[in-house]
């Protein structure tokens, strides 16, 4: 059975986003930086694609209904007003960045062992600068029965935003936590406006739950 997002899996632009390449929405193209090579003869005069965050893609992972999905999100993006729970949480489901349940429990365990808050440990282990996300809500959801989703899986890469640098240390591979990028979700220009519809079709919104990562039971 083919994955429901197979067409998006094959999209090279979405693979680039998974690997941390930055798209400049203002210019309508991929952001570039000057080639930092100290040897001018080896320097690319056209520059290099800018990278910030993303994954060190290690493998393809196929997800199904038995995979409970988690992500840290910003509550500000949830719908306000008179909405059902599913409608309120729908915008928080439309993101390609997720974790499996075992990784979520590992993150919680490490936060307790280190004696730091769960959000702080998430910022350290998942490379989440404050400028990128408030990380003030955790969303949990199941994939719809009969749906298979292909994801890029691997540890995160160092990310910087607003002068804050969150470093994923390659010298400590035993501390890395795999993250997931699910092609077909989000707001990348390569998707057009398909992301929200894909999230509604692939996730069982009736199972979606949002909870505060700062509650006492989740923190030292």
pLDDT band at 171 (very low <50, low <70, confident <90, very high): low
For 173-189, the pLDDT digits (tens) are 677 899 999 999 999 99
Alpha carbons within 13 angstroms on the beta-carbon side of residue 165 total 3
Q: Look at residues 212, 214, 181, 209 and name the one whose alpha carbon lies nearest to residue 111.
A: 214
pTM: 0.92
Specify whether the CB–CB gap between 98 and 63 falls below 8 A: no
Asked whether 23 and 188 are in contact (CB, 8 A), the reply is yes
- pLDDT computed for residue 47 by the predictor: 87
45-97 pLDDT, tens digit each: 888 889 999 999 999 999 999 899 999 999 999 998 878 988 999 999 999 99
Q: Specify whether the CB–CB gap between 65 and 144 falls below 8 A.
A: yes
Residue 195 has pLDDT above 60, yes or no: yes
Task: Report the 10 Å Cβ neighbour count for 8.
Answer: 25
Cα separation, 72 vs 121, whole angstroms: 12
The mean predicted confidence, pLDDT, of the chain is 92
Q: What are phi and psi of 98, to 5 degrees?
A: -140, 170
Give the residues across from 60 on adjacent strands.
152
Q: Would the pLDDT of 213 be above 80?
A: yes
Residue pair 123/135 in contact by the 8 Å Cβ criterion = yes
213, 138 Cβ separation under 8 angstroms: yes
Count of C-beta atoms within a 10 Å radius of residue 62: 12
pLDDT tens, residue by residue, 84-137? 988 999 999 999 999 999 999 999 999 999 999 999 999 999 999 999 999 999
Q: Do the beta carbons of residue 4 and residue 147 sit within 8 Å?
A: yes
SS3 label, residue 94: coil
Could you give the CA distance from residue 64 to residue 148 in angstroms, rounded to a whole number? 5
Q: Is 64 left (phi over 0), alpha (psi -120 to 50) or beta?
A: beta
pLDDT class for 25, splitting at 50, 70, 90? confident
């Amino acid at each position: 059975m083919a994955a429901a997002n197979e067409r998006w899996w094959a999209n090279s632009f979405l693979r680039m986003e998974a690997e941390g390449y930055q798209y400049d929405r203002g210019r309508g193209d991929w952001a570039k930086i000057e080639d930092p090579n100290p040897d001018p003869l080896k320097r690319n005069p056209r520059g290099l694609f800018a990278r910030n965050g993303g994954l060190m893609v290690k493998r393809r992972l196929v997800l199904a209904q038995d995979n409970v999905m988690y992500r840290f999100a910003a509550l500000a993006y949830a719908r306000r007003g008179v909405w059902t729970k599913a409608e309120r949480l729908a915008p928080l489901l439309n993101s390609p960045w997720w974790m499996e349940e075992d990784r979520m429990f590992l993150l919680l365990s490490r936060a307790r062992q280190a004696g730091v808050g769960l959000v702080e440990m998430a910022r350290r282990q998942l490379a989440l600068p404050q400028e990128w996300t408030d990380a003030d809500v955790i969303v949990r959801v199941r994939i719809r029965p009969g749906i298979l989703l292909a994801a890029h899986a691997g540890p995160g890469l160092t990310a910087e935003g607003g002068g804050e640098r969150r470093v994923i240390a390659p010298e400590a591979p035993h501390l890395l936590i795999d993250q997931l990028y699910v092609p077909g979700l989000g707001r990348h220009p390569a998707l057009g406006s398909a992301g929200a519809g894909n999230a509604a079709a692939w996730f069982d919104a009736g199972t979606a739950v949002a909870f505060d990562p700062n509650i006492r039971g989740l923190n030292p």
